[in-house]
Structure 1
Amino acid sequence: MTHDIHFRAASPADADRCYEIEISAYEGDEAATHEKIATRIAQYPEGFLVMERGDRVIGFINSGCAYDVVMSDEAFKELVGHDAAAPNVVIMSVVVDPAEQGKGYSTLLMETFVGRMRAMGKATIHLMCKDRHVELYRKFGYEYVRPSESDHGGMAWHEMILVL
C-alpha cells in the first residue's frame, strides 16, 4: 500500500518529527542531535528527503555533498565542508519509523533518493552502515569499500558506494 506515500524536501518544521524518528531508530550516540538535523535541513534541504504517509513523516534520508569524501569526518555530519555543487553525496541517516518498518518503505525511500540524486547530476552516493545492513545496501546496488575508521557511537561501520 504505497498509494498514500509521497516524498518532498524537508522543511524546518520537520526537525522535531525527524529527530523523534532518528532517536527511535538509532542506538545511543549513533543518533544525530536535534541541532544536527535542523542544520542539515537548513543547509541542504534538497538532500534531506522526507517520506510521508498522509501528512505524517514516517522516514527520511539526509545527506551532504563533498568533492573529497572522508567518511570518518565527524565535522561533516554538521555539514562542515559541505558544498551543494559537489558531485559526491554522503548519506548521514536512512531512517524509517520503527512502527512502519517491514513494509518495503526503506526500499521505496532509497530508490526515490537515488533517483533524485541521479536527476541532480550527482556522480556517487556514499554511506556507512553496520554489519547487518551491508547485504541490504548491496541489494540497492552499493559496493563494499572497506571497514570504516569511524567508531561513531562506539560502533563498527562499513563504507559503501553507489556509482550513479
Structure 2
Amino acid sequence: MEIRNATMDDLQAIAAVEAACFPAAEAATAEEFAGRLAHYADHFWLLFEQGELVAFVDGFCTDMPDLTDEMYADAALHDENGAWQMIFGVNTLPRCRRRGYAGLLLQRAIADAHTQGRKGLVLTCKEKLLHYYAKFGFVNEGVSASTHGGVVWYQMRLDSFCGNTLPSASEN
C-alpha cells in the first residue's frame, strides 16, 4: 500500500475512481479534475494497492468557513494559505470498501491540515454517513446550502485538533 499526493499523471485514474463511486450528477469530470490538479494537487491524497489507485480524498483550502457549490466548480478559488481545508470527495472503489482506506486518507488529510496550521476541515456528506465522519471528530452543522447533484447534504466541521483522537483504520 502506498499513500501519496497526486500529479497530473494520475488524472485518468482519479476520474475513473470518482465515476465508480458517485452517480453522474454528483461526480466530477476528468476536465474538472484537471483544473483541480493544476491548482491544488498537493491536496489530493491517493491510496494505491499493488500499483492501482483504489481510494482518494481531495479538496482545496480557503478562508471561507462553509463549503459552497461554487467551490466544486472553480478550482481557482483555492488559497494555499486558507484557514480551512475543504474536503470535496472521499472515494474508495466499491470492491475495496470496508478495508479502512478512506479512514487512512482522512487521517492523513487531518494530520496535514494540522501541520499546515489550518483551523480545521469542512466536508459535506449524505445523512447516512454522518456517524462515519463523527468518528474522526467532525461535528454535524445541519443541512448544507449545497444542492450539488440535486442531493441533500449535511455540512460537517472538524475545527479543533486539541484532544482529537482518531480512530484506527480497522474501525473504518
Q: Could you state the TM-score of these two structures normalised by the residue count of structure 2?
A: 0.88
Paired residues for 1:1-164 under 5 Å = 5-72=1-68, 74-77=69-72, 78-163=74-159, 164=161
Ranges of 4+ aligned residues in structure 1 off by more than 4 Å? none
- Kept after mapping to 1: 8 A contact 2:39/2:76: no
Any stretches of 5+ residues in structure 1 without a counterpart? none
The amino acid across from 1:105 in the alignment is Y
Moved more, 76-85 or 14-23: 76-85
| CA RMSD between the two structures | 1.2
Mapped partners of 1:81, 1:108: distance in 2: 27
Cα pair 2:5 2:44 within 8 Å, conserved: yes
Contact 1:64 1:91 in 2 (8 A): yes
Q: Which has the higher strand share?
A: 1
Secondary structure of residue in 1 paired with 2:111? helix
Equivalent position SS for 2:33: helix
CA contact (8 A) 1:40 1:48 kept: no
Gaps of 5+ in 2: 162-172
TM-score (norm 1): 0.92
Tell me the CA shift for residue 54 of structure 1: 2.5
Number of residues of Structure 1 aligned to a counterpart in Structure 2 = 159
Structure 1 residue 50: deviation in Å? Answer: 0.7
